[in-house]
């Protein structure tokens, strides 16, 4: 098994990887209030604690990613890279899984994480993969 790559150093012109976390996600049966006790908010706090010293990660709380049937939901995005959205991530145990996937994402020039390097939670949790913005020329197929 290949070692998990580390997040590569960026030059001053590089943007960090943006990780958006739906803070309004609720686990099944969880009460609506208080909002800060919802699973998504708890996951955001765990990721915030784990990435607070890493300037290469831009952690952003988002009020809703509209994937309510698959909480908790996060996305990865960076300039020139594909954007990924993942769901079905348990608030209490997902932070290390997300951080490992983030390292793979950051190391991939186009953001495409090789399937064989993804852990099951990330393979099964894919909600969507969106092309880089702005998309290439109109009518051109993106691979």
- Tell me if 88 is assigned to some domain: yes
Residue 139 lies in a domain: no
Mean pLDDT for 25-47 is: 94
Domain count, the chain: 1
Is 103 among the domain residues? Answer: yes
Say whether the peptide bond before residue 72 is cis (omega within 30 degrees of 0). Answer: yes
Phi, psi of 60 (to 5 degrees): -125, 125
pLDDT at 53: 83
* 142 occurs within a structural domain: no
Round to whole Å and give the CA distance between 28 and 69: 9
Structural domain of residue 116, as residue ranges?
Answer: 17-130
Closest by CA position to 27, among listed 88, 84, 86: 88
pLDDT in tens, 9-25: 433 336 789 999 999 99
Instruction: For residue 125, say if its preceding peptide bond is cis, omega within 30 degrees of 0.
Output: no
- Residue 107: inside a domain: yes
Q: Is the pTM of this model over 0.75?
A: yes
Is residue 24 in a domain?
yes
* Residue 138 within a domain: no
Confirm whether 12 is domain-assigned: no
pLDDT tens digits for range 48-97: 999 988 889 999 999 999 999 999 999 999 999 999 999 999 999 999 99
Rounded Cα distance between 50 and 53, Å, is: 8
The answer to whether 21 touches 11, Cβ cutoff 8 Å, is no
Q: Supply the CATH number for residue 38's domain.
A: 3.40.30.10
The tokens describing 139, both together, are: 């009518």
User: With contact defined as beta carbons under 8 Å apart, do 65 and 75 qualify?
Assistant: yes
């Amino acid at each position: 098994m290949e070692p998990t790559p580390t997040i590569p150093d960026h030059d001053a012109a590089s943007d960090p990887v943006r990780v958006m976390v739906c803070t309004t996600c609720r686990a099944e049966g969880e009460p609506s209030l208080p909002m800060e006790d919802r699973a998504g908010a708890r996951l955001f706090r765990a990721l915030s604690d784990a990435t607070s010293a890493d300037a290469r990660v831009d952690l952003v709380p988002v009020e809703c990613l509209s994937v309510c049937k698959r909480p908790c939901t996060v996305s990865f995005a960076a300039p020139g890279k594909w954007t990924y959205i993942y769901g079905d991530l348990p608030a209490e145990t997902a932070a290390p899984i997300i951080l490992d996937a983030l390292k793979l994402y950051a190391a991939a020039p186009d953001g495409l994480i090789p399937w064989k390097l993804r852990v099951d939670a990330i393979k099964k949790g894919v909600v969507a993969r969106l092309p880089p913005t702005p998309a290439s020329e109109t009518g051109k197929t993106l691979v």
